[in-house]
Amino acid sequence: MTSHREISLNYLILAVFSVVSLWPVVTILTSAFGPASSDAGAGIAGLHPENFAAAWEEGHFTQYMTTSVMVSTLVVVLAVVCSVLAGYAFGTMTFRGSGVLFYLFLLGIMVPAEVIVVPLFFDLRRLGLIDTIWAVALPQVAQSIAFGTYWMRTYFRSSNRSISEAARIDGASSGQILLRVQVPIARPAIVTLVVLLFMWTWNEFLIPLVMSPSGKMRTAPLGLAFFQGRYSTNTALMGAAAVLVALPVVIVYLFLQRHFIRGMVEGAVND
Amino acid sequence: MAPSSARSRAADRERRSGGRHSASHGHAALTPYLFILPAFSVYAALILYPLARAAQFSLFSWDTISPAVFVGFQNYVDLARNEELRNSFVHAFVLIFFYSVLPLSVGLVIAAILNRAKVRGMTFFRTVIFLPQVIAMVVVAVAWTRLYSTDGSINALLDLVGLGSLSRAWLGDYLFALPAVGLIGSWVETGLVTILLLAGMGRIPRNQYEAARLDGAGAVRQFFGVTLPSVRGEIAVALTLTIVAALRTFDLIYMTTQGGPGTSTTVPSYEVYYQAFQLSQVGTASAIGIALTILIFGINLVINRIADKATNDVAS
């Protein structure tokens, strides 16, 4: 019953939407590869990849990228370990207060960073933690745990129980079963969690902005904001710096896009 | 973070149906609590405790130097009286139109049309339209600042179609800066909403459309009679995700307009930061933060109530 007209219409929509989605991306890439100044020369086939080296150097991205990698690693590792443990308990064990406790975690998915960041700044300052990696990472670990616990609980509730039963009869403890039996099977769910948390942490802006006023623990997105303050008129260097900041997540996305889309879309609907 | 509280609905259902497993597995009574302890300690110390502290701060007047003075609900009264702060919430509601209503309307039409005929290239299409979701908002802001600049491609496009007289510095315009920022939000959210709806529509059995067609329903009546009722759940999730994103616009404002020109693009998220860390009005900032949190909880609750009711109506 599908007419040629309908099929053509579909292709037209796909084309228009793809162009609109890609237009800003193409714009930024064009700036990034354009000449940085009038004496930039002809470049390589008209392109100027040297902008990336210049932006990296001028923007102190060695420091910011290192900080970003450290913060992301810390957040992902701590949050995934805590979430798997908690999600396993909520998903497979019955205990008093589990309902209320789980509800508290769900609440955390909705609490905006804006409201907690103000008291956290003053309380962490009193503890001498401001401008340390802990002030930047720990609030994000907590946010990630709220989502991660929910995510892993959903997974463990639907996971195959009989394997655990068999292991239990063999005398394995809950900890051993989780580590040796359940975690290897749960790998796809854990990978999805890892890529989502990595993306959210890498792209986070408000928490590192507030928690590192001196700039000592400035992450890559903040480096870009800082860069914009000084180089806003140099579109080539700005473009190159922006591409550098976006690149790590985009690369992971291109390889593992099904995990991104499943995590953010299908996971939200299917439960 | 992407909050979703269609999730809390699912949790509710699960809880009512009761846990599947009894405690007879011989767990030591403490085991589950030990498993939860690390997650709960971090979560309680860095989300629950600060949330309570924010509520406490919001009842004080504190400039970070002199001692804090208890003022009761005065900060909230000021919030309602101060035109600039009140407007920041009005701006947030304008952004909801651009982040939520517009992407949902466009997404519904696009997904419905795409769902009627299967075409090739859908995987590529999904990858492309989801891309704005994974690009850091600061980078999105840099790209769009470029597009909106006086020599950017928006103005070039207007020139091309003979509307060159309309061209301007969009983000510096009192009237157009807010819609301009809003459209960036539309660009970010439309792909997500469309993919959500496509997934939902893909699950509708084909024979429902056959039946409607036999009843003489055209494309439009099929859309309202079959498609729309079937994707209620997806619409609820899409609304929740995008409204929360609109209410939490911070990076974008910080990078593109800093609330200006004047105060024409201030939003609650930006005001929290500005009041607390630029003006040292910690009480006011906390009151805005708490108001924002209540608003987000409230909207989540209302959307889920409506979605639940609609689902029950269909079921009965």
Structure confidence at residue B22 (pLDDT):
42
Same domain, B111 and B15: no
Q: Are residues B88 and B196 in the same domain?
A: yes
B157 and B286 housed in the same domain? yes
Task: Judge whether A161 is closer than 8 Å to chain B, CB to CB.
Answer: yes
The Cα of B42 is separated from the nearest Cα of chain A by a number of Å equal to 6
Residues B78 and B53 in one domain: no
pLDDT exceeds cutoff 50 at B11: no
> Shortest CB distance from A115 goes to which of B40, B54, B142?
B54
* pLDDT, tens digit, 9 for 90 and up, residues A89-99: 999 999 999 99
Q: How many DSSP H helices and E strands does chain A contain?
A: 14, 0
What predicted TM-score, i.e. pTM, was given to this entire model? 0.91
| DSSP annotation string for B56-125 | HHTTEE--SSSPPEE-TTHHHHHHHH-HHHHHHHHHHHHHHIIIIIHHHHHHHHHHHHHHHS--S-HHHH
Answer yes or no: do B78 and B47 share one domain: no
What's residue A43's pLDDT?
Answer: 77
In angstroms, what separates the C-alpha of B165 from chain A's closest C-alpha?
23
Q: State yes or no: pLDDT of B316 exceeds 60.
A: no
Same domain? B78 vs B52: no
Is residue B203 a part of any domain in this protein? yes
> For residues A250 and A254, what is the distance between their CA atoms, to the nearest angstrom?
6
Say yes or no: B34 and B82 in one domain: no
B139, A28: Cβ pair inside 8 Å? yes
What is the rounded distance in angstroms from the CA atom of residue A185 to the CA atom of residue B212? 43
Examine residue B62 and state whether it is found in any structural domain, yes or no.
no
Identify whether residues B18 and B158 lie together within a single domain.
no
Lowest mean pLDDT among A253-257, B5-9, B108-112: B5-9
Give the pLDDT confidence of A45-91 residue by residue, as tens digits.
Answer: 789 999 999 999 999 999 999 999 999 999 999 999 999 999 999 99
Tens of pLDDT, residue by residue over B127-161, are: 999 999 999 999 999 999 999 998 898 999 999 99
- Give the pLDDT score at A42: 75
Distance CA A125, CA A134 (A): 12
Query: Residue B196 above 50 pLDDT?
Result: yes
- pLDDT > 70? residue B13: no
Ordered alpha helix ranges (H), B215-281:
219-222, 228-230, 232-247, 251-256, 268-277
User: Could you tell me if residue B69 is inside a domain?
Assistant: no
Task: Report the CATH number that the domain containing residue B95 is assigned in CATH.
Answer: 1.10.3720.10
- pLDDT above 80: residue B312: no
Q: Is residue B66 part of a domain?
A: no
pLDDT on residue B148: 95
Is there a contact between A88 and B35 if contact means CB atoms under 8 Å apart? yes
B23 shares a domain with B125: no
pLDDT at A143 over 50: yes
B45 and B176 share a domain?
A: no
CB pairs under 8 A between A and B: 330
Please determine, for residue B231, whether its predicted confidence score (pLDDT) is greater than 90.
yes
B109 and B180 fall within a common domain: yes
pLDDT at site A162: 77
Amino acid at A244: L
Task: Assess contact for B172 and B265: CB atoms under 8 A.
Answer: no
Whether the Cβ atoms of residue B87 and residue B171 lie closer than 8 Å to each other: no
* Position B214 in a domain: yes
- Report yes or no on B64 lying in a domain: no
- Cβ neighbours of B293 in A, within 8 Å: 110-112, 115
Count of structural domains within chain B? 2
Domain that holds residue B223: 74-315
In a domain, B65, yes or no: no
Average pLDDT (A172-194) is: 88
In the prediction, which pLDDT does B2 show?
44
Task: Specify whether B92 is located in the same domain as B130.
Answer: yes
Residues of chain A numbered 171-210 and touching chain B (CB < 8 Å): 174, 196, 199-200, 202-203, 205-206, 209-210
| Mean pLDDT confidence for B227-231 | 92
| A14 at interface of B, judged by CB pairs closer than 8 A | yes
Nearest to A119 among B42, B57, B119 (CB): B57
Contact check, Cβ <8 Å, A269/B196:
yes
Residue B144: inside a domain, yes or no?
yes
In chain B, what residues touch A15 (CB-CB under 8 Å)? none
Q: Which tops the pLDDT comparison, A270 or A253?
A: A253
* Interval B54-107: pLDDT, tens: 999 999 999 999 999 999 999 999 999 999 999 999 999 999 999 999 999 999
pLDDT of residue B21: 45
pLDDT for position A271: 40
Q: Comparing C-alpha atoms, which of B81, B79, B61 is closest to residue B71? A: B61
